[in-house]
Amino acid sequence: MQLRSPSRSAAPRIEELIARRELSAVFQPIVDFDGGAILGYEGLIRGPAGTSLEAPFALFSQALAEGCAIELEQAAARACIEAFARLGYDGKLFLNFSAGALRRLAETPDDTLALLRYRGVDPQRIVIELTEQSTIPDVGAFLSVIAALRTAGAQFALDDYGTANASMNLWVRLQPDVVKIDRFFIHDIACDPLKFEAVRAMQHFASASGARLVAEGIEKEADLIVVRDMGIGCGQGFFFGRPNAQPARTVTDDARDALRAGHIAVFPEATRTLGGASPSGGMASEKMLVHAPALPRHATNNDVLELFNRLPDLHAVAVVERDEPVALINRRSFMDRYALPYHRELFGKRPCLLFANASPVVIEKSMTVEQMAKLLASDDQRYLADGFVITENGKYAGLGTGENLVRAVTEVRIEAARYANPLTFLPGNIPISSHIARLVGNHAGFYACYVDLNHFKPFNDQYGYWQGDEVLKFAAAVLADVCDPMRDFLGHVGGDDFLILFQSDDWRERVLRAIHVFNEGAQRFYAPDDRLAGGIHGEDRRGNPTFFGFVTMAIGCVRVEPDSTDGASLYNSEEIASLAALAKRRAKLEASGFVLIGAQESVALLRGQPEGAVTTN
């Protein structure tokens, strides 16, 4: 006899769960960063504990299959409002609704008002979130739905902005009171420059539209501090608390300490280079793009001649088929050939492809500057004479010349060097000044440390620029290793000059460790004989024979602190840079390679007192 295992009971129908009131509510706090108060809670629904329908995804998937998703949303809202009323908490209650459920509410205004006032909760404490799964075929017709909710006293929010159907179009047309930034953009924002830029764009638009931003999915202190320092006012996530039937009334000590953290975040955009996924390729393409007409594949040589005669400045013409380039005809070579006897009579009515370059150089408009630079260095230099074709998504966009390519790449690289050093990819002068201004503007105390390499020029002269670049990259790696990327800003001023803006409490230990590690490691860049000799022979700046020791690191530091009397900073960015440079010059004369100019001497120097009037620390 075959034994049968007992069949597992089928999951109850959603309508039964609603009727038996087996739905339970949990709440996740939404925190105001200014002061750390909990301004409200998002109400979330759960099915019967320990069943397959406990998770909200399974619950709503089953409801969708049974055709009662809107009924489940309404029941979930009632369960959340009832549970919130029993808790007796202050603040707002955020409730999730799909577009369909909101339409149902708007169609029955009396029922809507009754729902919002369910269990005595003031409708003005309710914030209705439009969920990301919602599709709104007619946004214009949906405006009356939002108006009905606001008439009832509730506020309106866009949930999970940046994903699915939450778009700029909805933001502009629905004008939400609150926009909740999807967790995708917040998770690891402290180290992801593209997410940072996306959120900053949302922030700019929120400022223009008057909407309040809430950052969802905050799980790490570093992400919280970046979002806080960007100026976003509110957030929620596991860092503040997981969904719970009885959530905390106040934030945890850890969350409060993080919100009150004295250091200013190092924004990830400071380390962004203008290559790769950055807009630099597009910038270069725009600089060199020549808008020029193209000819179809079936055009004749007479058509080419007519076009060149009509447009005397046109250096070439592209031949296209279905808007895609198939060939390029250079003006000079074409006109030289046509000047020969009888060529016009013999070839004028022949296809233009007869004298065309069937494999022209093609540059996609989105090509990065690095890729363009490789083209400049390639063996194929036809584009210098013939020019090349520029496409956008594979379609013909215009023409370019070799001269314009060289100029565009050079200009973009010069501009990029102001933002990021092309050798070390560390932030350049503009991000350095920007971060100093942020520190000063927020009255943050910090240490500005100017880094220089002793005997680097003689080494560079002896071993060449390639080996010199390796030493600079080694120095950058050593300095980056001693910095806390969430507190300390590292920039590359240029050449062998670097600047660190320390907010770490153990900054001195970090500085001394950098000097030690670099001085030990730099010796490996010398030839064995030079290592044994302790350095190299060369010439000083006056051409005199001189022996130079190994390349070593010197770091001069300046203590920067706000004025305790009125909160105004004692310094501006230029003064801080000047004082740090002075400290660096002193450090180069010290055997230890380290000098600190304290706060008192900094003030004295700024006031014009003679150098050394106050003792250096």
**408 lies in the same domain as 430:** no
pLDDT reading at 481 higher than 90: yes
What phi and psi, each to the nearest 5 degrees, are found at residue 191? -130, 15
- Residue 172's pLDDT is 87
Residue 612 forms part of a structural domain: no
Helix, coil or strand: residue 423: coil
Q: What is the pLDDT of residues 339-379, one digit of tens each?
A: 888 778 888 899 999 889 888 888 888 776 666 766 666 66
Q: In the structure encoding, which two tokens stand for residue 457, read together?
A: 């020029």
**C-beta of residue 166 within 8 angstroms of C-beta of residue 159:** yes
**C-beta of residue 535 within 8 angstroms of C-beta of residue 462:** no
Greater model confidence, 395 or 284: 395
Cα–Cα distances in angstroms (integers) from residue 538 to residues 250, 386, 461, 553, in the given order:
68, 48, 8, 20
- Residue 278's pLDDT is 41
Most confident of 166-170, 370-374, 487-491: 487-491
Greater model confidence, 483 or 422: 483
- Specify which residues 389 forms β-bridges with: 362, 399
Residue 135 neighbours by CB under 8 Å, 6+ apart: 99, 165
Residue 444 forms part of a structural domain: yes
Greater model confidence, 3 or 99: 99
- CATH code of residue 82: 3.20.20.450
- Residue 412's pLDDT is 67
**251 lies in the same domain as 298:** no
Greater model confidence, 562 or 157: 157
- Residue 374's pLDDT is 67
Average pLDDT over residues 98-124: 81
Domain boundary among 364, 384, 414: 414
Query: Which pLDDT band, with edges at 50, 70 and 90, does 206 fall under?
Result: very high
Residue 271 forms part of a structural domain: no
Whole-number Å distance between alpha carbons of 287 and 407 = 9
pLDDT reading at 211 higher than 70: yes
**342 lies in the same domain as 323:** yes
- Residue 480's pLDDT is 95
Average pLDDT over residues 97-111: 83
Query: Which pLDDT band, with edges at 50, 70 and 90, does 380 fall under?
Result: low
Query: Which pLDDT band, with edges at 50, 70 and 90, does 540 fall under?
Result: confident
Count of domains observed in the chain: 3
- Residue 612's pLDDT is 42
pLDDT reading at 586 higher than 90: yes
Residue 17 forms part of a structural domain: no
Query: Which pLDDT band, with edges at 50, 70 and 90, does 164 fall under?
Result: low
Query: Which pLDDT band, with edges at 50, 70 and 90, does 381 fall under?
Result: low
**32 lies in the same domain as 100:** yes
Query: Which pLDDT band, with edges at 50, 70 and 90, does 425 fall under?
Result: confident
**Residue in the structure block whose two tokens are 């105004």:** 568
**Amino acid at the residue 25:** A
Residue 445 forms part of a structural domain: yes
Query: How many other CB atoms are found less than 10 A from the CB of residue 560?
Result: 24
Please report, rounded to a whole number, the percentage of residues in the chain having pLDDT higher than 70: 86
pLDDT reading at 309 higher than 60: yes
**456 lies in the same domain as 536:** yes
Whole-number Å distance between alpha carbons of 217 and 395 = 40
DSSP 428-458: -HHHHHHHHHHHHHTT--EEEEEEEEETHHH
- Residue 378's pLDDT is 64
**Amino acid at the residue 422:** P
Greater model confidence, 68 or 544: 68
Greater model confidence, 373 or 577: 577
**396 lies in the same domain as 308:** yes
- CATH code of residue 387: 3.10.580.10
Average pLDDT over residues 570-586: 84
Q: What is the pLDDT of residues 508-529, one digit of tens each?
A: 999 999 999 999 999 999 999 9
Taking alpha carbons only, the member of 579, 578, 256, 599 closest to residue 445 is 599
Taking alpha carbons only, the member of 504, 468, 475, 507 closest to residue 491 is 475
- Residue 188's pLDDT is 93
- Residue 4's pLDDT is 46
Strand 324-330 and strand 316-321: the pairing is antiparallel
Domain boundary among 230, 261, 292: 261
Question: Which residue segment(s) compose the domain that 302 sits in?
Answer: 280-414
Query: How many other CB atoms are found less than 10 A from the CB of residue 233?
Result: 17
- CATH code of residue 568: 3.30.70.270
Query: How many other CB atoms are found less than 10 A from the CB of residue 100?
Result: 14
Domain boundary among 367, 382, 414: 414
Residue 136 forms part of a structural domain: yes
Greater model confidence, 367 or 155: 155
Query: How many other CB atoms are found less than 10 A from the CB of residue 530?
Result: 18
Residue 8 forms part of a structural domain: no
- Residue 382's pLDDT is 59
Average pLDDT over residues 95-117: 82
**342 lies in the same domain as 364:** yes
Please report, rounded to a whole number, the percentage of residues in the chain having pLDDT higher than 90: 51
The helix (H) or strand (E) run that includes residue 469 is helix 465-482
Q: To the nearest whole number, what is the mean pLDDT of the chain?
A: 85
**185 lies in the same domain as 304:** no
**192 lies in the same domain as 52:** yes
Average pLDDT over residues 376-393: 72
pLDDT reading at 277 higher than 70: no
- Residue 376's pLDDT is 66
Average pLDDT over residues 252-262: 90
**166 lies in the same domain as 28:** yes
**In the 8-state DSSP scheme, what is residue 162?**
T
Whole-number Å distance between alpha carbons of 559 and 448 = 7
**C-beta of residue 347 within 8 angstroms of C-beta of residue 334:** no
Residue 344 forms part of a structural domain: yes
**312 lies in the same domain as 451:** no
**250 lies in the same domain as 173:** yes
Residues found in the chain: 617
pLDDT reading at 135 higher than 80: no
What phi and psi, each to the nearest 5 degrees, are found at residue 476? -60, -40
